[in-house]
Structure 1
């Protein structure tokens, strides 16, 4: 399945990775630097939840009941 948006995101991601010779440590450092700059500029930052939500097993059972 081809999707223009997905293709564009993948192209941007690939171009970003290529800038750092696909070095994951360098890519991570750049993302953290960019994050710090955005926070310093006043953009909101939402921390991830401290706990993962527990799945509702009753809901999980009924989700696939009609398949």
Structure 2
């Protein structure tokens, strides 16, 4: 089976981060947001997407 060294490293980093926060997703996201703010890099926040009416059922058969 082929292994991807880059993906393996990402998996290890992700696992270490989750373990550091006892797998508490809310705490992990709080940390990511804190890091993003502290980085000083510009980030973009997009508005929520509206539902796509073309994908909703029309009631026709």
TM range (shorter): 0.5 to 0.7
Instruction: Return the offset for 1:46.
Output: 3.7
- Structure 1 segments (4+ residues) deviating >4 Å: 48-52
| TM-score when normalising by structure 1 | 0.61
Instruction: Return the offset for 1:47.
Output: 1.1
| TM-score when normalising by structure 2 | 0.66
Higher-RCO chain (CA-CA 8 Å, sequence separation at least 6): 2
Structure 1 unaligned residues grouped into runs of 5+: 53-67
Q: Give the structure 2 partner of residue 5 of structure 1.
A: 6
Q: CA RMSD in A?
A: 1.9
Q: Give the structure 2 partner of residue 64 of structure 1.
A: none
